[in-house]
Amino acid sequence: MMKKSSGLFIGLLLLFSAGIASAQEEEEYNMDELIQFSGVIITSDSLTAIPLAHIIVINSMRGTVSDFNGYFSFVAKKLDTVEFSAVGYKADRFIVPDSITNNRYSIIQLMSTDTIWLSETVIYPWPTKAEFKEAFLTLEIPDDDLEIARKNLNPRQLLVKAEHLPAEGSVNFKYLVDQQVEKLYYNGQTQPITVLNPFAWAKFVKAWKDGKFKRRPDVETTP
């Protein structure tokens, strides 16, 4: 049993050593294919740097992001397909050439603007249709500008507001002066009674014919 175990251990050790050797050879081979891939990403119309653009090698986990000046740099291999993408720009691809003689390669990548159409999103404040129906039926729609203007220019409303508005100073002054003038005019004699004034009666009859003494429907009278 000891001999069989020793033989198995030696065989596994040889296989492990062979694997390490092949991995080292493969690593040395891949080191020859690796290059420092760098460059600047700019717009094709205004030649402005594109910051935070994604640079990814297709079918791999390698890549980077451009800085605020549009500059990027990472390790790539020959014949790698590199994809450039950024929000608002059309994605583009670049194949690293295999004819590179040194371990560095730089490019200036141009990207064209692209319009992104987002699907319509409708946000409702009501979770169910029943709640929406209830809110819609109890909704009090405010008056628009035209309706507010119509109410403000209603003659009945204007009359009510005029009755409650205080008189201006000039109106009060004119009324007081008229009273003083009338008092001085009849100074030393009997002032005529308004009830017997024919002009006042003429104004009353005219106002009555014009319908100014009709009772307003919005005014309630008590018996």
For the segment 174-205, what is each residue's pLDDT rounded down to a tens digit? 778 877 887 777 777 777 666 666 667 777 77
pLDDT at residue 211, as a whole number: 73
For the segment 203-219, what is each residue's pLDDT rounded down to a tens digit? 777 777 777 666 555 54
* Residue that the structure tokens 């003429």 belong to: 202
pLDDT at residue 93, as a whole number: 94
pLDDT at residue 53, as a whole number: 95
**Which has the higher per-residue pLDDT, 14 or 171?**
171
pLDDT at residue 55, as a whole number: 95
8 Å CB contact between 103 and 32? no
Is residue 66 over pLDDT 60? Answer: yes
pLDDT at residue 60, as a whole number: 85
Return all residues near 192 (Cβ < 8 A) that are at least 6 apart: 186
pLDDT at residue 152, as a whole number: 81
8 Å CB contact between 82 and 55? yes
Specify the 3-state DSSP secondary structure of 28.
helix
**Which has the higher per-residue pLDDT, 194 or 99?**
99
pLDDT at residue 67, as a whole number: 94
Average of pLDDT values for 11-33? Answer: 51
pTM comes to 0.42
- Fold of the domain spanning 2-111: Immunoglobulin-like (2.60.40)
Rg of the chain over CA atoms, in angstroms? 49
Give the residue among 78, 133, 138 at the shortest CA–CA distance from 103: 78
C-alpha separations of 172 from 164, 177, 181 in Å:
15, 9, 14
Percent of the chain, pLDDT > 90?
26
Average of pLDDT values for 46-68? Answer: 92
For the segment 27-55, what is each residue's pLDDT rounded down to a tens digit? 444 667 789 999 999 998 889 999 999 99
pLDDT at residue 83, as a whole number: 95
- Residue 173 CA, chain-centre distance (Å), reads 57
pLDDT at residue 172, as a whole number: 73
- Residue 112 CA, chain-centre distance (Å), reads 26
CATH 2.60.40.10 in the chain, residues? Answer: 2-111
- In whole numbers, what is the pLDDT of the chain averaged over residues? 77
Least confident of 60-69, 99-108, 125-134: 125-134
